[in-house]
Structure 1
């Protein structure tokens, strides 16, 4: 069990209201487009190993 390896207290993830990701509500399509057209391209050009794993 992976939890046995944790040295600190475990904090389970949940759908907490008013969390930081609420700031990005409604921009899923825009961010998906940016990932494909900007961020992924940059990561692949910066790292041949990363690029190879995505091809």
Structure 2
């Protein structure tokens, strides 16, 4: 996938995550270890770390 498309997907996913967290009772601190890392990177806007983490998980399959 083109880098610009991946970045746009990240920006939209981050916005949706913010909306979800604001409208639900989910507490980031209560997520599992893998999920909390991903969510924290996304909320911080750290595209590179988010992509690297997802790629590492994909390689574990």
TM-score by length of 1: 0.39
> TM-score, length-normalised on structure 2?
0.36
- Which structure is higher in RCO with an 8 Å CA cutoff and minimum separation 6? 2
Larger Rg: 1
